Amino acid sequence: MIAGITLPMAAEPLIPHRPPMRLVDTLVSVNDGCAVTESVFPRTTMMADGEGTIDEVAFIELIAQSYAAFKGYVDRMDGKPPGEGFLVGVRHLEIPGKAHSGDRLLTSIRTVAAFGGFAVVEGAVTRGDETLASGSLKVWLVDPDADGG
Amino acid sequence: MNELRKAIDASATEVLPGTGTGARRYRFSPGFIGFSGHFPGNPILPAIVQIRAVLSLAEEEGGKTLRLAAVRSAKFLAPIRPDEDVSIRYRRRIDSGRNLCDATLSVAGKTVAAFQLELAEGEAPR
């Protein structure tokens, strides 16, 4: 175990996103390619309308940032700085629910495949027992040793 | 309407000649709120901003409030940087009772993103 890395922990040291585009607050747990993060959108977020309803596109970013936090954690545990990654695809992402500022949102991700610098990730955003969004993302992981990366 | 959407709408620069589809050009300045924190020193237009822009354009041109019900597929092929001219084109259609929206984003004639979204209509105005 690396000194100073215990869960739950703040997501910010693990991911390149910063406010207002850092939407994930805390990495809650990591287990065998899976992870759970927590997010609470403040009333002042640019993603909320006047009634506090969160723009549904935010769910996509929550899943992407949750995978980034997971990967950053794994990198840190391997003694490396968190690597960079970019969202390159989304498939079959359903958004049946709505979130509001102040809701405690948990995002679960599972690494389905990782090959050739790409990872396929399944994710779901929940509030209590309610699934607000779920689907699959494809992420390109930058090779820090590649020229021009 | 949320602040992100207001900033996206304010970044529209030109209505493009239509060919039966919606089309508009945008330029997201370095100060655009979506670049803030995404990423420091390496600003890239977030994927969700690209999807939100299509959704907002379809909403405005259709005259009805829309909700994003699903992203059936989306590909992000190249990063979009500040001050690039981004052309958005979309086409709406009904398939098996589903309200679909096919969209492409291009920069300098090159496709940088393509989506198929599923929309839901008739929600209360935001």
Summarize pLDDT for A26-50 with one digit per residue, the tens: 999 999 999 999 999 999 999 999 9
Q: Residue A66 is encoded by which pair of tokens?
A: 């949750």
Weakly modelled stretches of chain A, pLDDT under 70: 1-4, 144-149
**Of the partner residues B51, B67, B73, the one whose CB lies closest to the CB of residue A91:** B73
CB pair distance less than 8 Å for A17 and B74: no
Residue B32 is assigned to a structural domain of this protein = yes
CB pair distance less than 8 Å for B76 and A47: no
Which tens digit of pLDDT belongs to each residue from B29-53? 999 999 999 999 999 999 999 999 9
Q: What's domain A9-141's superfamily in CATH? A: Hotdog Thioesterase (3.10.129.10)
Residue B16's pLDDT band, with cuts at 50, 70 and 90, is confident
| B100 lies within 8 A of chain A by CB | no
CB pair distance less than 8 Å for B79 and A53: no
Residue B20 is assigned to a structural domain of this protein = yes
Q: What are the residues whose beta carbons fall under 8 Å from the beta carbon of A122, sequence distance 6 or more?
A: A109, A110, A112, A134, A135, A136
Residue B31 is assigned to a structural domain of this protein = yes
The amino acid that residue B76 corresponds to is: F
What CATH number did the domain enclosing B43 receive?
A: 3.10.129.10
Domain boundaries, chain A: 9-141
Helices (H), B43-109: 47-62
Q: B residues 26-65 near A, CB within 8 Å?
A: 33-34, 36-40, 42, 44, 46-49, 51-52, 55
Domain count, chain B: 1
Residue B126 is assigned to a structural domain of this protein = no
- For residues B106 and B122, what is the distance between their CA atoms, to the nearest angstrom? 29
